[in-house]
Amino acid sequence: MADMRSDRPGPQRTLVVDIGGSKIKVLATGHSEPRKTPSGQRLTPLGLVEKVRELTADWAYDVVSIGYPGLVGASGPASEPGYLGPGWVGFDYAAAFEKPVRIVNDAAMQALGSYDGGRMLFIGLGTGVGSALILQNVIIPLELGCLSCGDGPLSDVLGQSGLDRAGKAAWRTAVNRVAPSLLSAFRVDYVVLGGGNAEKVKARELPPGIRLGHNLTAFRGGFRLWRVDDVTTYASGHSSQLGPRRRAEWTLL
């Protein structure tokens, strides 16, 4: 649940960590230029913390938002990511960062940053395919990459492997074919295409109702995350809620 009003109190300094299959990107309150470093199949959560500490050694922050490329439950990551190393489920992120931490699916974080009202479907085009739905302030992480798309799972068709196999032109054609179908199926007002490979899509060729997200929307979502009332905050090895509970305007499912 998120209250987006400008007068809503929240942490003054937030570090946002966006974990991708090929890169880790970070941005903190008061800074305008993200920093990044490679991730890859050998990256463990401890390795993540070490890399983030190196990237942000000269930055000050009070809390951490993490966009995680996998399922997230009430206790944090609920499944191991397919494109990274092991050990993500059950890791104590708050203890490792020595800061309060909030963790959500990376597509949900990007969706939160992309949202402009109404009913929105977010599709993250990267190593795999991320997805999230927002319906009048209700955020629903999805796993659309599992859907069959004729030539295989959507993650294989629109993800990096599909791009490498088909080439840019055919991959763009697939994106332009699938996105309007999802727009109709979910009855949303618009679909936002984000993720690292969204820059390879030609905006002028997109069908009506489909638009490109900005490459900083994941960070905007990470900053907004601390105004979401029912996201678990991890601190000192346990989950808690920072601040008083009140009637929520947003719901995270």
pLDDT digits 0-9 by tens, 75-96: 899 999 988 999 999 999 999 9
CATH 3.30.420.40 residue ranges of the chain are 14-108+217-252, 116-212
pLDDT in tens, 138-183: 899 999 999 987 778 999 999 999 999 999 999 999 999 999 999 9
Helix (H/G/I), strand (E/B), else coil: 198:
helix
Q: For tokens 């088909």, what's the residue?
A: 166
CATH architecture for segment(s) 14-108+217-252: 2-Layer Sandwich (3.30)
Contacts 24+ apart (CB under 8 A), 70-79: 70/105, 71/105, 71/141, 71/143, 72/103, 72/104, 72/105, 72/108, 72/141, 74/232, 74/239, 75/232, 75/239, 76/103, 76/232, 76/234, 77/103
Mean pLDDT, to the nearest integer, of 29-56?
A: 96
Q: Is the pLDDT of residue 11 over 80?
A: no
Mean pLDDT, to the nearest integer, of 103-107?
A: 94
Q: For tokens 């697939």, what's the residue?
A: 174
Name 241's bridge partners. none
CATH number, span 116-212 = 3.30.420.40
Q: Is the pLDDT of residue 4 over 70?
A: no
